[in-house]
Structure 1
Amino acid sequence: MEKELRLIDVNKKYKLSNKDYFQALYDINVEFEKGELVSIVGESGSGKSTLMNLIGGLDSEYTGQIIAGGQDLSKLKEKELDNYRKNKVGFVFQSFNLISHLSILDNVTLAMTLSNVGEKERVEKATKILKMVGLENQLKKKPTQLSGGQKQRVAIARALINDPEIIIADEPTGALDSGTSLQILEILKEIADSGKLVIMVTHSEKVASISSRVVEISDGKIVSDRRNENYQKNASTFESQNLEEDPSKKGKQKQNLSFWSSIRLSLHNMWASKVKNFLMAFGVSIGIGSLILMMCFSSGITDFIDNTMKSYSNPQIVTITKKGEGNIQDVMQFNPFTDEEKNELITGINQYLDEEGISFELTEDDITPGFGMMAIATGAKVLYNPTGEGYGDEFSDPIPNEELESEAIYYLYSVPPYYSETNIIAGEMGSATGGLMFTQGINNLVGENPIGKEVKVTFTIRVGNNSRPVEVVDKICGIMDTSIMSNFMVLYVDYDYLASIFAEEGVSDSFAPTTYYIKTDSEETTKAINDYLFSTNKYSGSIEDQLEGMFTSMSKTIGTSLVVISSISLFVSAMMILVVLYMSVSERTKEIGVLKSIGARRKDIKRIFSSESFLIGLLSGIFGIIFNLILTGVVYLILQNTIGLAPISYRWWYFAVAIGVSLVISVISGLYPASKAAKLDPVEALRRE
């Protein structure tokens, strides 16, 4: 008959130390034919299991040759050995080695799943084989619901599913009673009678007595090889079952485990430990939810500032001031423009707009001058007379101190052209003939209803190399709401009125525009001019724009800090995932050995565990979004009820970030456990209990 398996001068040594070795097999030379039912017998430690591991491709460290189906196993690469175990050899173990969380059907089809065979074909073939071993009614049961004999039948069906040429049964009846053992041996005999090579490892004489051939091994050497003259080959029911592949598929290399198949296997594994995985996902979700909340706070504060400023600005007006020296105090001061600088500004803007293909041409008619300065008086006094006859009496109540600190009034500047009556919340706009307009900060100094009260404000101007005080005495005509500046102490006066004050003081030469306002024809032009101004690094916007920039920068810094702090919890979550998956590898070591014995590649094992970490990350991200929605709702209500403001704003991509971050954390955390699982030695893994 055709030689299915040949072993030529096979030796196997185990390394004990740098110098010491233990030799388990000595010069094994033996041949096996198709259709044989061979028993390899020997005492424990004789080397029979070692020999089976070599024949089955589980161990590749040996000298000599093992030729199976024309293939020299000693020359096969790791992936080729995986395919050999998947397609050419089937294992039946004494302890069954079924995966407890998979159904009987899924246990049997597992090898076909690793080959990426379609579900319909897998189910049809597995059902047919399970029917052969008498388990057609047990497809949906779990291994724990079966008897020992039934479990071994499932193991036999799994070994047959990819139609291998060699079946290796390691003590197939060792865990069974005598009656069940006989049934299992009958099944193995039928398989051999169908033309397959069946090799049983046993120390039972009863098992050996029904074999067609008995090979005895002792101390790593074959001591006898005899045939059973009484062995009678029978017609096998397995012959009538067409277990061969579709002829159209012959010669085609079988595919490997697909991504979706690995996801399906991972879902089974996760469901088996659903409580542990749920708690782990929930733990990660807390960090994810907190991260989103911090991002919402950051964007909420930024949006609040932006929206507030936009409600008080005109998108077709550009505000231009000269930059200070860099520190906050200088940034908040105003530097006057010379006529030469004004002309340079107009020329530069027009050249840039022309280069950008924008038809707008800036002229002097489009520019409105403005003035602003710090009110740095050494002693600002606010006076009034309720009768309106004068201002001789100091206003001492509700003001606690007659002498106000210099910071009492922060700014003095002309009314911007984009301010109108809509910005007046009390009183009316001033004019070129008089009238002082304050922001709401004045209420803190003169109490409620300040309209009509007469005040004196002293500020200092520079004249040549000297400075001198200038006093403004007038009535408060209006209270302005100017967004971000509203709660500051700011005085607004009409530009022409301010010019007349300087003229009256005899210091007209010290009065020059510190701000220019440009009226454009579209938002596109506004943006282009702002782009030009930014590119020169010489100009800034209005004081509101500068303060908005500072507050926005501060909010981003705070938001970034909050995100970094919340990221610490994500690091802890990553460590938790790594530890749990690492422990999972240890708990499922035998399962990994089973997968490798039926042909799973390192890549397949890694993909299964990586898929689990991927699913944990996906679940954590979903939980994190749900947790965040609940947490954000609670925080929103608390803030609204306590401070009347909840600066929380969502971006649609925050949820994508949540899922993405969760996936990245989980997948990265799962890399080491997955790699460790993939590198496990199948022989050692199968020994693990």
Structure 2
Amino acid sequence: MLKLENITKRYELKKKTVYAVNNVNMTFHKGEFVSILGLSGSGKTTLVSQLGGLDQPSEGRIIVNGVDTSSFKQQDWNNYRKNNIGFVFQDFHLIAHLTAKENIEIALSLSGLTPKEKSDRAEELLALMGITEQRDQLPKQLSGGQKQRVAIARALSNKPDIILADEPTGALDPDTSVQIMEILQALAENGHLVIMVTHNKYLARDYSTRIVALESGKIISNEEVRPSKQYKDDQLSTDKSSLQFFTAVKIAMNNLKIRKKSTIFSMVSLIPSMVLIFGIMNLIFNMSGYKADFKPLLGDVLGKDNLLYVTPFEDEQLESTQKTIYKEVNRLNVYNPRIEPFKNTIIEPYTDDAISDMEDIEGVDKVLRNTYFDVIIDEKPFLLMALPPKAYASYQYGVPKKHYPEDHEEGIIMSSEAAKVLLQDNHASVKHLVGTDITFNIYNYKSAAIKLPSIMEEKNVIHTKVIDIMDISTKTKLMSNYHAGYIYVSYGYAESLRERFDLDDFTLFSYSVPDPFKSVVGVEVEGGFLITGPQLVADPLRHLRIKTSLQEKYNLFQFREFDLNMRGNNYSVKHTVILNDAFNKDSLAKLKEYGHVTKSRFDAYSVESAKKTNEYINYSLLSATLIAVVVILIPTLLVCVILYVSIILRTKEIGILKSIGARNKDILNIFTMESGILALSSGIISLVVALPLIQYVRNILESEYDLQASLGSNPMDYNMLGIITAFILSVGIITMIGLLPGRKASKLQPNTLLKHE
């Protein structure tokens, strides 16, 4: 069943070739008990290593049941050792942290048996070896003879055809040696091929059927001592070997228990770093939320290549004029003649004819009329905005095409967040509002308040219906109520609403009041009424206008959108000009005849502030990310070092596992499991510690800097996505770091591992 043809194993040492096995030819059959004798260094153990697939010959062929093994790959050798070979070693090679029964079951774990099948087979072998009572004892609690019986039971676990025994009696007393020899002899008589390496020629002659003597790697004699029974050779078993998952987990758990001090040291070292990772990732995800919130504004600041903005006033002129108006308003002279010329431009900077003329300029597709109203629905304020014509829907941020209305379609489109505000329920289902009748009251037009006599007129009360609800992305970080107060109408419908009013219906200013939902009231002033009431309630940047030390130091969060009550551009609407490829320098010169042309819908001050804010967010994200990388790198390197030390301490264990057929992947899995269990345990403890610490830091930031009011949210608010990501990332990276030492351990040769002291 086993045939050796010209087997040679040589080593190159300092330009000298040493032959451990030299041109050996031999045949073995089932039922034989073959003893290989020879002095130390004669090549006995090397030859047995070749037979067992622990090492491969330099030359020659090993043929098992008619199958040539010279073409075997690593997995084939693993399967060969698991299915066909049972090893018995001089120093037993039992895994120290497993009981006698578990040492047997671990070999069975490579065969895919169920837990009950493994247990029954292990019990059967323990009984066969006469050590049933020692099933739950660790190797250190067993005598030498008992250890060797466990080793033989393990060797028999997968019913191999070939038993290879390397000095099985070398560490035993004479009486125990005889008992082991009788067991091996019985195995041969029952149809196994038993090949034993020994120095004891007397035991060999008393129990063997054949004795082979080696000297300097060569066969010097091959003597048949007594006839052996004849058995028919079986086919070579090729069942694949694979260490069962739960067995790998159990081995990993046992190793961690045995190395309690290093395990505890590792966890103590990991926990502070992982707690810090939770905090940093929570901050990073909140900052990312800020950045995502800021993205649409930044896009508007930088503008699109085919967009320009035109207004009758330059930024500096608006600033200067505004100061003058404020002085007049403070004296309540709202109808002062000095204000009238400016007031006449605030609502509609350009006439219809002027807009038409601008659209006749070569390369100008459309000049959008910017129309918006402040409205009250069920005593709740909203900002009603006109969408661009459907042909220019791509220029309206955040409104999906499927929700885009026809140009003259009547009715309002609400964002889902606006609908929730209306229903006063953040978790409400809002789709049922579609098709319902709704009434709203207009009290501001482009931030100019309607006079009290006008607001009481029927023309300010609009009866319409909800035609759609848009589930648009609502940000809750940097712009805490972005989209929350927005409702939309079609371009044509907005025009019909605008036509209800004229400039005399509007007052230049309305005063803010502490309660944003306070009813609109009129204050009688010289020459008429001044309307007071909700101011800036629909402004998504409202929180950012509150001064903070951060804002004052870095001049952040000062950008102001033209149609949302910003300084300067508040009183002069910038019209959006959509261009085509025909637009040229001459076109630009003609457009400038109508006013100040910019590439941004924001004023210069806002553009600079927006860029600074974006840079600040980017730098914060980069810094936090770099810190996170450094923080997580330290514990992962620590785990890597600990696992490398573990390899040195467990070299023989790895060799034993490989000798019974464990794959490189199985060894890798065990080490990965160890780092995974360590990381998971540390991660859970760290999470429990991190959550209250994050809340503590948040409370300090809130009490010291009032960030909730300043930014719309606190950067240390719980961000569950960030915390979950931190958990997965930290546990995953630390687990994966186990691949490095695990891969090193898996590639070591089993014969080298078993020789390690």
Q: CA deviation at 1:169?
A: 0.6
Residues 329/219 of structure 1: CA separation in 2 closer, same or farther (3 Å cut) = farther
Equivalent of 2:445, from 368, 372, 376? 368
Q: CA deviation at 1:671?
A: 2.5
Match of 1:165 in 2: 161
- Deviation track 1:226-270 (CA, whole Å, cap 9, x = no partner) reads 2334x898xxxxx9xxxxx9xxx9978345234444334323333
Match of 2:649 in 1: 587
Q: What TM-score comes out, normalization by structure 1 length?
A: 0.67
- The answer to whether 1:291 aligns with 2:266 is no
- Deviation track 1:374-400 (CA, whole Å, cap 9, x = no partner) reads xxxxxxxxxxxxxxxxxxxxxxxxxxx
* Paired residues of 1:114 and 1:257 also in contact (CA < 8 A): yes
Instruction: Give the aligned residue type for 2:545.
Output: M
- The answer to whether 1:669 aligns with 2:666 is no
* Paired residues of 1:280 and 1:577 also in contact (CA < 8 A): yes
- The answer to whether 1:93 aligns with 2:89 is yes
Q: CA deviation at 1:635?
A: 2.9
Cα distance between partner residues in 1 of 2:716 and 2:139: 53
Q: CA deviation at 1:602?
A: 1.8
- The answer to whether 1:683 aligns with 2:706 is no
Match of 1:359 in 2: 405
Cα distance between partner residues in 1 of 2:169 and 2:318: 89
* Paired residues of 1:13 and 1:22 also in contact (CA < 8 A): yes
Q: CA deviation at 1:641?
A: 6.1
Q: CA deviation at 1:543?
A: 9.3
* Paired residues of 1:153 and 1:184 also in contact (CA < 8 A): yes
- The answer to whether 1:514 aligns with 2:572 is yes
- The answer to whether 1:38 aligns with 2:55 is no
Cα distance between partner residues in 1 of 2:152 and 2:715: 65
Q: CA deviation at 1:79?
A: 1.6
Match of 2:255 in 1: 269
Instruction: Give the aligned residue type for 1:40.
Output: I
- Deviation track 1:624-677 (CA, whole Å, cap 9, x = no partner) reads 312312432443455566556665211222332123212331243222212211
Residues 20/301 of structure 1: CA separation in 2 closer, same or farther (3 Å cut) = closer
* Paired residues of 2:212 and 2:219 also in contact (CA < 8 A): yes
* Paired residues of 2:281 and 2:725 also in contact (CA < 8 A): no
Cα distance between partner residues in 2 of 1:331 and 1:587: 78
Cα distance between partner residues in 2 of 1:485 and 1:415: 21
Equivalent of 2:60, from 61, 64, 69? 64
Match of 1:180 in 2: 176
Instruction: Give the aligned residue type for 2:216.
Output: D
Match of 2:437 in 1: none
* Paired residues of 2:267 and 2:682 also in contact (CA < 8 A): yes
Pairing 1:238-253 to 2, within 5 Å after superposition:
253=239
* Paired residues of 2:277 and 2:730 also in contact (CA < 8 A): no
* Paired residues of 1:173 and 1:181 also in contact (CA < 8 A): yes
* Paired residues of 2:182 and 2:207 also in contact (CA < 8 A): no
Equivalent of 2:684, from 603, 618, 622? 622
SS at match of 1:137: helix
- Deviation track 1:128-171 (CA, whole Å, cap 9, x = no partner) reads 01111112122222212211111111111110001011101101
SS at match of 1:619: helix
Match of 1:346 in 2: 369
Pairing 1:451-470 to 2, within 5 Å after superposition:
none
Residues 601/51 of structure 1: CA separation in 2 closer, same or farther (3 Å cut) = same
- Deviation track 1:567-592 (CA, whole Å, cap 9, x = no partner) reads 21111122112222222222222111
Instruction: Give the aligned residue type for 2:368.
Output: L
- Deviation track 1:104-132 (CA, whole Å, cap 9, x = no partner) reads 22211222212332222111111101111
Match of 2:151 in 1: 155
- The answer to whether 1:422 aligns with 2:515 is yes
Residues 538/78 of structure 1: CA separation in 2 closer, same or farther (3 Å cut) = same
SS at match of 1:167: strand
Residues 90/625 of structure 1: CA separation in 2 closer, same or farther (3 Å cut) = same
Cα distance between partner residues in 1 of 2:160 and 2:19: 30
Residues 331/684 of structure 1: CA separation in 2 closer, same or farther (3 Å cut) = farther
Residues 111/662 of structure 1: CA separation in 2 closer, same or farther (3 Å cut) = same
Match of 2:499 in 1: none
SS at match of 2:388: helix
- The answer to whether 1:29 aligns with 2:25 is yes
- The answer to whether 1:565 aligns with 2:627 is yes
Cα distance between partner residues in 1 of 2:270 and 2:251: 23
- The answer to whether 1:597 aligns with 2:659 is yes
Q: CA deviation at 1:98?
A: 0.8
Query: C-alpha root-mean-square deviation of aligned residues, in Å?
Result: 4.8
- Deviation track 1:413-467 (CA, whole Å, cap 9, x = no partner) reads x988896562599xx9978759999xxxxxxxxxxxxxxxxxxxxxxxxxxxxxx
- Deviation track 1:582-633 (CA, whole Å, cap 9, x = no partner) reads 2222222211111111111222222222233333332333233123124324
Residues 250/217 of structure 1: CA separation in 2 closer, same or farther (3 Å cut) = closer
Instruction: Give the aligned residue type for 2:738.
Output: G
SS at match of 2:446: strand
Instruction: List runs of 5+ in structure 2 lacking aligned partners.
Output: 294-307, 323-344, 359-365, 371-386, 395-400, 410-441, 449-506, 533-540, 553-564, 577-597, 708-713
Instruction: Give the aligned residue type for 2:201.
Output: E
Amino-acid identity (%) = 33
Q: Report how many residues are paired.
A: 539
Cα distance between partner residues in 1 of 2:718 and 2:291: 15
Instruction: Give the aligned residue type for 1:577.
Output: V
Instruction: Give the aligned residue type for 1:359.
Output: P
Equivalent of 2:215, from 203, 213, 218? 218
Match of 2:4 in 1: 7
Greater alpha carbon shift after TM alignment, 205-214 vs 193-202? 205-214
Cα distance between partner residues in 2 of 1:330 and 1:88: 94
Cα distance between partner residues in 2 of 1:228 and 1:332: 115
Residues 546/353 of structure 1: CA separation in 2 closer, same or farther (3 Å cut) = farther
Cα distance between partner residues in 2 of 1:286 and 1:226: 69
SS at match of 2:34: strand
Cα distance between partner residues in 1 of 2:310 and 2:728: 42
SS at match of 2:133: coil
Residues 302/202 of structure 1: CA separation in 2 closer, same or farther (3 Å cut) = closer
